[in-house]
Amino acid sequence: MSKTYRGYTVAQIAAAIDHSVLKPNSLSSEVVAACELAAQVNTASVCIRPIDVPLAVASLAETSVPVCTVIGFPHGTSTTGTKVFETIEAISAGCDEVDMVINVSALIEGDFDTVLSDIKAVVDAAHELKPESIVKVIFETALLNREQIIKACELSELAGADFVKTSTGFAAEGATVENIRLMKHCVGDRLKVKASGGVRTLDQVIDLLEAGADRCGCSGTESILESF
């Protein structure tokens, strides 16, 4: 019988993690090492910067681990056309998943048409190139109130996204159990939920999974799994 902690095996935890290398000063060697770890433990994906997509695709070519990158990252202030271009470039280079940052200021201002069209343009671009690709929508929940998070969930669903996601990991606060519960309540089983930002321990991962997250974005994957 596999060893478990709080009802989870190490394989189940690994399969819920998007192993992330997103710091601006990350080196190519770190990307390669991240891909090697992801392949070894079979994470849900490796999430890397757009410049690292070709390297990650090559490193994971003989594995089943998907490649994920970020769009409009980390502020969401790129134009929609820029986000679409980034998406097309990433998917064309072999990416399987994209995590896009919404137009946060438009959401806060109540310009919901702009937010919706921004998300939908990325979703349409990704799904047209690769129908099975996954689009996750990053809210940056640290900047939003409860009503704005609810609205962001509604707009992401209307736009045809696959996931809603809490954070970039570059804001003052990342994922919280409270926000994961709220997002899960909003999207039900229609969309999936990703917790990201400040997720550093095994207990945090399990707390977030139990609150309704399907995945967690983590840079410290190795230390989390070593906790077993």
The pLDDT tens digits of the residues spanning 67-86 come to 999 999 999 999 999 999 99
One-letter identity of residue 199: V
228 falls in which pLDDT band (50, 70, 90)?
confident
Q: Check pLDDT > 70 for residue 168.
A: yes
Q: List Cβ<8 Å contacts ≥24 apart for 148-155.
A: 148/107, 148/108, 149/179, 149/182, 149/183, 149/186, 150/182, 150/186, 151/107, 151/112, 152/102, 152/107, 152/115, 153/183, 153/186, 153/187, 153/191, 154/186, 155/102, 155/107, 155/112, 155/115, 155/116, 155/119
Residues with active-site annotation: 99, 165, 194
Q: Check pLDDT > 60 for residue 1.
A: no
Q: Check pLDDT > 90 for residue 100.
A: yes
Q: Check pLDDT > 60 for residue 103.
A: yes
Q: Which of 13, 10, 17 is nearest to 217 (CA)?
A: 17
**pLDDT in the model for residue 161:** 98
Full-model pTM: 0.97
b/e map 95-131, b = 16+ CB within 10 Å: bbbbbbbbbbebbeeeeeebbbebbbbbbebbbeebe
Q: Report the mean per-residue pLDDT for the chain.
A: 97
pLDDT in tens, 34-58: 999 999 999 999 999 999 999 999 9
- Say what percent of the chain tops pLDDT 70: 99
Q: At what angle do helices 202-211 and 177-187 cross, to 10 degrees?
A: 30
pLDDT in tens, 107-137: 999 999 999 999 999 999 999 999 999 999 9
